[in-house]
């Protein structure tokens, strides 16, 4: 039994000296440039012939185009992104999926792999069984197939690596903290699978055998997870949360280094701010040494 109460004023905050000052950081209303030769991009507006930022973020310049990339945002999908989402509605031939974007995403019945075969016609029978395959509240991993005109996403799970997710836990972080990588599915050597969704949803679960990969997750395993695995999942989850709290980019190496730095603390101590800061500092130093 532990109760840990602190005063807000005594809690360790981010050390300012460890953060490089960003020169191109703007807040809403800031003048980016008064030069009229530039083109207006996302996150900016024109007033009195000057470019102003409309969001808080980092200015990016591509030739004559000025954009501001917001630091905290909803997810703006791009084709090919890997996302983790939650089914919120079962509709006519489609599922509505929450992916932390501005509008709900859709997963069409025609863009999922159904159990039992590759080239299968998705018949009326399947339409009636939709809730049997995926029901409200279920979590899926998917890829963005296309982006509609209004910015909403169409997803697909037509590969065996995508599909319904089983036992594990979901962590929500800001989408801008996920580093874009070739792969977002990582089987970490500590026996944990991490799916870093581009939309900021991070799924952590114990690595399973090949059996579940072949069914697309439709056959779920409700057997209790052994305690040792559970502890590692909790630790990785706390690492993900601490990285996000300290605004560090999330990718396989950063998570692994944080995990290794955290091993000297019990899992539940990782929720204390001073332990978080120490672990993150260690991981940050190691990342800088590696030059990544």
Interface residue with another protein, options 61, 121, 231, 285 (CB under 8 A):
231
Q: Which stretch binds another protein (CB under 8 A): 8-16, 66-74, 155-163, 181-189?
A: 8-16
DSSP 75: B
Q: How many residues in the shown chain lie near another protein by CB under 8 A? A: 42
Q: Within 13 Å, how many C-alpha atoms sit on residue 76's CB side?
A: 10
Separation CA 30–CA 215 (nearest Å): 52
Binders of another protein in range 142-201 (CB under 8 A):
164-170
Alpha-carbon dihedral sign for residues 219, 223, 229, 235: positive
Binders of another protein in range 48-107 (CB under 8 A):
86, 88
Interface residue with another protein, options 234, 249, 282, 287 (CB under 8 A):
234
Which C-beta is closer to another protein: that of 44 or that of 199?
Answer: 199
Which C-beta is closer to another protein: that of 38 or that of 265?
Answer: 265
Q: What are the residues whose beta carbons fall under 8 Å from the beta carbon of 148, sequence distance 6 or more?
A: 154
Helix 252-262 and helix 227-245: axis angle, to 10°? 110
Q: Within 13 Å, how many C-alpha atoms sit on residue 197's CB side?
A: 31
Nearest approach in angstroms of CB 166 to another protein is: 5
Q: Which residue, among 53, 86, 57, 84, has the nearest Cα to 70 in the 3D structure?
A: 57
Interaction of residue 8 with another protein, rule CB under 8 A: yes
Residue ranges that bind another protein, judged by CB under 8 A: 1-9, 11, 13, 86, 88, 136-139, 164-170, 220, 222, 224-225, 227, 230-231, 234-235, 237-238, 266-268, 270-273
């Amino acid at each position: 039994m532990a109760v840990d109460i602190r005063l807000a004023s005594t809690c360790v905050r981010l050390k300012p000296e460890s953060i490089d000052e960003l020169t191109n950081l703007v807040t809403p209303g800031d003048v980016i440039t008064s030069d009229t030769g530039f083109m207006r991009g996302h996150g900016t507006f024109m007033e009195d012939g000057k470019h102003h930022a409309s969001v808080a973020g980092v200015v990016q310049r591509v030739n004559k185009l000025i954009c501001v990339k917001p630091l905290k945002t909803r997810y703006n999908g791009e084709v090919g992104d890997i996302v983790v989402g939650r089914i919120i509605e079962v509709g006519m031939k489609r599922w509505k999926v929450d992916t932390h974007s501005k509008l709900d995403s859709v997963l069409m019945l025609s863009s999922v792999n159904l159990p039992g075969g590759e080239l299968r016609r998705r018949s009326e029978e399947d339409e009636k069984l939709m809730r049997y395959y995926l029901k409200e509240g279920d979590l899926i991993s998917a890829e963005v197939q296309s982006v509609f005109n209004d910015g909403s996403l169409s997803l697909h799970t037509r590969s065996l690596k995508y599909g319904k997710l089983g036992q594990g836990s979901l962590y929500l972080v800001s989408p801008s903290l996920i580093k874009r990588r070739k792969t977002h599915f990582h089987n970490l050597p500590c026996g944990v699978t991490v799916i870093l969704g581009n939309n900021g949803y991070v799924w952590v679960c114990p690595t399973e055998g090949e059996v579940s990969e072949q069914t697309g997750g439709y056959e779920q395993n409700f057997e209790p997870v052994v305690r040792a695995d559970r502890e590692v999942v909790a630790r990785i989850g706390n690492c993900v949360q601490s990285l996000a709290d300290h605004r560090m980019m999330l990718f396989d190496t950063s998570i692994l280094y944080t995990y290794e730095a955290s091993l000297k603390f019990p899992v539940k101590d990782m929720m204390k701010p001073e332990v978080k800061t120490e672990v993150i500092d260690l991981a940050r130093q190691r990342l800088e040494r590696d030059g990544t």
